[in-house]
Amino acid sequence: MKFLTGSIIVTAILSAADAIAEPVSPFLDASWAGTGVFRETTDGPVQNGRCRVETVVTLGQEALNLTGQCAGVAASTKVLLKLERRGENRIAAVFRLWAWDREIQFVGVESDGVIRMTGREPMQLNGSAFDSALEINWSQGPGFSMEFAVSTDSGPDVELLSMQFELR
């Protein structure tokens, strides 16, 4: 009997470890904690930051609302992301960070646990126009990452937000 109980416990622990290692789609109702970096401006310093966000799924698993707060050493901002699946693998999104006082509309595709999107029009920031890209990746599990970058014709891409989220 002791052997059977020990086997059940070991099996349960291994099953839990396997479940934790599985990729977790952000398309669920959950609370997430993120760590990473962000910039307030394209020429500003990179700050270490933390985020706490909530995700709520709507439209029968076809839409996701992410809301929360991100903070660094010198600044904090509210964050809002609304994703909607449109068709087989197409995604439309609205992304807003209050620190930049901008709302950006994105379109893109979802494939193998990664959503890659580009801004529908140039983003105005610091008096300049930038193309923008947003990527959400949950293919590596158990959480997801969010990367937001801008670029111009004359310079390299500038990463404004890079966060890795884990379930709280």
Please write down the HEC assignment for all residues of 86-155: CCCCEEEEEEEEHHHCEEEEEEEEEECCEEEEEECCCEEECCEEEEEEEEEECCCCCCEEEEEEEEECCE
For 62, residues 6+ apart whose C-beta sits below 8 A from its C-beta are: 84, 85
First and final C-alpha spacing in the chain? 37
User: What CATH number should be reported for the domain holding residue 39?
Assistant: 2.40.128.20
For 90, residues 6+ apart whose C-beta sits below 8 A from its C-beta are: 107, 108, 109, 110
Return the minimum-mean-pLDDT range out of 39-43, 78-82, 158-162.
39-43
Q: What is the pLDDT of residue 163?
A: 95
Residue 16 is assigned to a structural domain of this protein: no
C-alpha 162/C-alpha 35 separation (Å) is: 8
Tally of CA atoms within 13 A in the half-sphere of 9 that contains its CB: 6
Domains held by the chain: number: 1
Residue 153 is assigned to a structural domain of this protein: yes
C-alpha 26/C-alpha 132 separation (Å) is: 22
Q: What is the pLDDT of residue 123?
A: 84
Residue 15 is assigned to a structural domain of this protein: no
Residue 12 is assigned to a structural domain of this protein: no
pLDDT digits (tens, 9 = 90+) for 122-135: 887 777 888 999 99
Provide the residue range defining the domain that includes 88: 24-167
Residue 90 is assigned to a structural domain of this protein: yes
69-91 mean pLDDT = 89
Residue 13 is assigned to a structural domain of this protein: no
| AA letter at 2 | K
Q: What is the pLDDT of residue 24?
A: 52
Residue 32 is assigned to a structural domain of this protein: yes
- Single pTM value for the model: 0.81
For 17, residues 6+ apart whose C-beta sits below 8 A from its C-beta are: none
Alpha carbon of residue 96 to chain centroid: 12
Residue 7 is assigned to a structural domain of this protein: no
Strand bridging mode 30-38 / 155-167: antiparallel
Report yes or no: 51 and 68 within 8 Å, Cβ to Cβ.
yes
